[in-house]
């Protein structure tokens, strides 16, 4: 189903560029965290963090895209590894008074919006997301003001200030049912900021949609021709694709889904080989759940491509054991949000959570986008 997008006639604002400089800065910070540990250093850090988590009444909540070390530590210390929405929900339900959010800034902010009474700390508060950077609140607000007849729907990967101006917040796990719901009410949708996820839900629902032209620097790189070639070598492999990927990559998917959805798909007992188009951190969970299976990174460089580390988000990689220990020691990197922004941002987040509950959609376990 498709509806001619009005994007062609609409002038979108000039978005901030994700320059080499911005990426190099993130990569340099990440390199400090990913630098090899000696076994003794690793053990000392893990012991220190475990002790401090208890002392500080803190719990570690990590995203699927963080390092294996952080995911393992979150699980072993009584914390949680999940997608962004579930990270926030877990933080809300857990009795700890401090949440340590290992992920990127919008995840820490969402946790704070939902849990204002808790202290929310992040290993590196500068860890951001290209989608968030490409959707500054002032540009978004002006654009919404210019198109008041549209219902604004923003992806979770945005700042608290952008959420504060939105009618709905969605995650990749619930975008499709919410847009279907809006389509049934004949609402027109102003979607921001991920253009690939936006055009995926537009294709699936036929809704009239204005799509902000942002994208994720990682998913943007997956190449359909590379996947087709890999599929020749592994004809039985299923292709699992996150919907932040370009349309021609989504078209090759056996399963399109959120991180949780893709992990769930990898459990299929009838399939042993998978080509996976999303950030490489997801392989930790997939391999842990199905140790005998073959998981292949979807090619990101296309034919003859040489990209070797494109699949690691430079901002997610800024989270490490070293800065986690430091933050627990010093209490630095606390997330704060102005109360009026927080209260406004809470409205569309609650709307999503209420919708999920009413429709009995288990956002965590949704297998299809
Ligand atoms: P999920 O909600 O699917 O975990 O995606 C989060 C994200 O940031 C993808 O780039």
Residues 131-187 pLDDT 10s: 999 999 999 999 999 999 999 999 999 999 999 999 999 999 899 999 999 999 999
pLDDT for the residue 86? 85
| pLDDT tens figures, 178-229 | 999 999 999 999 999 999 999 999 999 999 999 999 999 999 999 999 999 9
CATH number, domain 6-14+131-217, options 2.40.160.20, 3.20.20.70, 1.10.10.60, 3.40.50.10800: 3.40.50.10800
pTM score of the predicted model: 0.92
Q: Which two tokens stand for residue 250?
A: 């989504």
pLDDT for the residue 230? 96
Q: Which two tokens stand for residue 34?
A: 């990913």
The number of the ligand 1 atom at minimal distance from the alpha carbon of 82 is 4
Confidence bin at 93 (pLDDT 50/70/90): confident
258, 211 Cβ separation under 8 angstroms: no
Whether residue 34 has pLDDT greater than 50: yes
Contacts of 95 (CB under 8 A, 6+ apart): none
d(CA 108, CA 99): 9
Detail the DSSP E strand segments found in 143-272. Answer: 151-155, 168-170, 189-192, 209-211, 238-241, 255-256
Half-sphere exposure of 46 (CA within 13 A, CB side): 16
d(CA 271, CA 267): 8
66, 281 Cβ separation under 8 angstroms: yes
Fold topology of 20-128+316-339:
Rossmann fold (3.40.50)
pLDDT for the residue 97? 97
Confidence bin at 89 (pLDDT 50/70/90): confident
The number of the ligand 1 atom at minimal distance from the alpha carbon of 262 is 3
For the chain, give every domain's residue range.
Answer: 6-14+131-217, 20-128+316-339, 219-297
The Å distance, Cα 328 to ligand 1 centre, comes to 26
The Å distance, Cα 82 to ligand 1 centre, comes to 10
Cα separation values, 224 from 98, 253, 279, 301, Å: 43, 10, 16, 10
| Nearest-CA residue for atom 8 of ligand 1 | 157
- What residue ranges line ligand 1, CB within 6 angstroms? 83-84, 157, 171-173, 216, 244, 258-259
20-128+316-339 against 219-297: fold identical? yes
Q: Which two tokens stand for residue 358?
A: 């009413």
To test the pocket of ligand 1, the residue of 104, 130, 171 to mutate (highest count of ligand atoms within 8 Å of its CB) is: 171
pLDDT for the residue 362? 58
266, 293 Cβ separation under 8 angstroms: yes
To test the pocket of ligand 1, the residue of 90, 104, 172, 277 to mutate (highest count of ligand atoms within 8 Å of its CB) is: 172
pLDDT for the residue 303? 40
The Å distance, Cα 44 to ligand 1 centre, comes to 31
Q: Kindly report the average pLDDT of the chain as a whole number.
A: 91
Q: What is the CATH number that goes with domain 219-297?
A: 3.40.50.10800
The number of the ligand 1 atom at minimal distance from the alpha carbon of 171 is 2
Cα separation values, 274 from 212, 233, 240, Å: 31, 12, 7
Confidence bin at 367 (pLDDT 50/70/90): very low
Q: What percent of the chain has pLDDT over 70?
A: 93
d(CA 320, CA 308): 21
| pLDDT tens figures, 256-315 | 999 999 999 999 999 999 999 999 999 999 999 999 999 999 998 644 444 444 688 999
């Amino acid at each position: 189903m498709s509806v001619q997008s009005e994007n062609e006639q609409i002038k979108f604002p000039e978005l901030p560029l994700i320059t080499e400089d911005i990426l190099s800065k993130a990569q340099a910070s990440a390199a400090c965290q990913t630098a090899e540990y000696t076994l003794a250093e690793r053990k000392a850090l893990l012991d220190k963090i475990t002790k401090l988590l208890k002392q500080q009444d803190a719990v570690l909540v990590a995203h699927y895209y963080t390092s294996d070390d952080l995911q393992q530590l979150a699980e072993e210390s009584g914390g949680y590894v999940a997608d962004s929405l579930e990270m926030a929900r877990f933080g809300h339900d857990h009795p700890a008074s401090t949440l340590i959010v290992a992920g990127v800034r919008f995840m820490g902010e969402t946790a704070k919006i939902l849990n204002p009474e808790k202290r929310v700390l992040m290993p590196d508060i500068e860890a951001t997301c290209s989608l968030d950077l490409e959707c500054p609140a002032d540009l978004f607000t002006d654009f919404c003001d210019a198109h008041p007849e549209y219902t604004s729907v923003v992806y979770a990967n945005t700042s608290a200030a952008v959420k504060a101006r939105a009618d709905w917040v969605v995650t990749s796990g619930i975008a499709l049912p919410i847009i279907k719901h809006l389509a049934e009410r004949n609402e027109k949708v102003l979607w921001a900021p991920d253009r690939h996820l936006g055009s995926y839900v537009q294709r699936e629902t036929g809704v009239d949609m204005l799509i902000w032209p942002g994208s994720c620097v990682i998913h943007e790189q997956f190449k359909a021709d590379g996947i087709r070639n890999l599929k020749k070598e592994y004809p039985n492999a299923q292709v699992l694709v996150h919907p932040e990927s370009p349309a021609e990559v989504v078209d090759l998917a056996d399963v399109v889904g959120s991180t949780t959805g893709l992990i769930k798909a990898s459990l299929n007992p009838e399939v042993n080989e998978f080509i996976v188009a999303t950030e490489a951190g997801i392989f930790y969970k997939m391999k842990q759940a199905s140790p005998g299976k073959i998981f292949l990174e979807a090619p990101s460089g296309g034919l003859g491509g040489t990209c070797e580390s494109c699949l690691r988000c430079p901002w997610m990689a800024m989270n490490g054991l070293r800065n986690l220990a430091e933050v627990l020691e010093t209490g630095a990197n606390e997330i704060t949000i102005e109360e009026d922004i927080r209260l406004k941002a809470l409205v569309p987040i609650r709307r999503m959570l209420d919708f999920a509950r009413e429709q009995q959609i288990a956002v965590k376990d949704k297998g299809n986008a």
